[in-house]
């Protein structure tokens, strides 16, 4: 299908999504260079790391761990796939499942390659080194949280358009979940702040790229 055959509204949405995705990828690259060349962002990482976190009661520790799990790869991917299958069966379309699988593959390839390539050590080791066989940068938890919950929100919005599943409200829910996962990682000292920001950039870039791909191919089975 040529670009001229795409309805004008979808074409504009596709171009907008591609621009946003490109900006997020560039932001990730800029942040990565800042981390590699030891700019003040890593000084800020150390400052946050050295803050004495309170000793939480076991119930709060349990709660923080469960919030952190909202960015767990296996959990988020499983929920996304189940939702995609459910919506796909409801509307007799393979599109939600195909987009979900594409998003998961892209995220794991990019984040996995970055983690192995940069080899950044975890903050719990009390030392911040690159190319040291670590797996800290970027954060898989923050990227998983934004991508998977964001894509779930997109599916629900595109295939229902019903209250309370309006797009604006869902965006706030995704933002709250993503920031909560980042906060939980900081409290548990499992990632540097720049790891989490990098993960958000990667997850956001892939999320919007997948949305652009969805907008590029019209479907009679998709309500909007």
The string of pLDDT tens digits covering residues 34-45 is 999 989 999 999
User: Is pLDDT above 60 for 5?
Assistant: no
Q: What pLDDT is stored for residue 201 in this prediction?
A: 98
Q: What pLDDT is stored for residue 6 in this prediction?
A: 61
- Is the pLDDT higher at 51 or at 138? 138
User: Is pLDDT above 90 for 102?
Assistant: yes
Q: What pLDDT is stored for residue 167 in this prediction?
A: 53
pLDDT by residue (tens digit) across 170-220? 888 999 999 999 999 999 999 999 999 999 999 999 999 999 999 888 777
- Residue 166, domain extent: 3-216
Q: Does 224 reside within a domain?
A: no
Q: Does 201 reside within a domain?
A: yes
Q: What pLDDT is stored for residue 190 in this prediction?
A: 93
Q: Does 221 reside within a domain?
A: no
Q: Does 173 reside within a domain?
A: yes
Q: What pLDDT is stored for residue 168 in this prediction?
A: 52
Quick one: which of 141, 217, 127, 210 has its CA closest to 181? Answer: 141
Angstrom distances, CA of residue 190 to CA of 76, 115, 216, 223: 19, 14, 38, 41
Q: What pLDDT is stored for residue 4 in this prediction?
A: 53
Q: What percent of the chain has pLDDT over 90?
A: 72
User: Is pLDDT above 50 for 65?
Assistant: yes
Number of domains in the chain: 1
The pLDDT-based confidence of 74 (bands split at 50, 70, 90) is very high
Q: What is the DSSP string of 116-153?
A: HHH-PPPGGGT---SSSS---SS-HHHHHHHHHHHHHH
Angle between helices 193-216 and 167-188 (to 10 degrees): 150
Angle at the Cα of 110 (from 39 to 41), degrees rounded to 5? 15
Q: Does 24 reside within a domain?
A: yes
Q: Does 222 reside within a domain?
A: no
pLDDT by residue (tens digit) across 114-173? 999 999 999 989 899 999 989 999 999 999 999 999 999 999 888 876 544 455 578 889
The pLDDT-based confidence of 13 (bands split at 50, 70, 90) is confident
pTM for the structure as a whole: 0.91
Angstrom distances, CA of residue 49 to CA of 86, 166, 217: 42, 38, 45
User: Is pLDDT above 90 for 2?
Assistant: no
């Amino acid at each position: 299908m040529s670009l001229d055959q795409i309805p004008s509204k979808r074409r504009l949405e596709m171009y907008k999504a591609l621009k946003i995705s490109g900006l997020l990828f560039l932001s990730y690259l800029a942040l990565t260079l800042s981390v590699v060349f030891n700019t003040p962002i890593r000084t800020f990482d150390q400052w946050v790391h050295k803050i004495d976190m309170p000793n939480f009661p076991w119930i709060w520790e349990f709660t923080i761990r469960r919030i952190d799990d909202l960015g767990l790869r296996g959990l988020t991917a499983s929920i996304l796939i189940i939702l995609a299958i459910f919506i796909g069966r409801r509307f007799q379309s393979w599109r939600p499942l195909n987009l979900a699988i594409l998003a998961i593959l892209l995220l794991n390839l990019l984040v996995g390659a970055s983690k192995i390539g940069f080899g950044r050590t975890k903050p719990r080791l009390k030392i911040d080194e690159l190319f040291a066989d670590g797996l800290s940068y970027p954060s898989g938890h923050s990227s998983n949280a934004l991508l998977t919950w964001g894509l779930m929100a997109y599916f629900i919005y595109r295939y229902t358009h019903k209250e309370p599943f309006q797009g604006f409200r869902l965006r706030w829910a995704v933002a709250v979940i993503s920031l909560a996962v980042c906060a939980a990682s900081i409290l548990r000292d499992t990632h540097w702040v720049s790891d989490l920001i990098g993960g958000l950039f990667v997850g956001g870039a892939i999320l919007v790229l997948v949305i652009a791909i969805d907008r590029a191919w019209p479907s009679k089975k998709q309500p909007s």
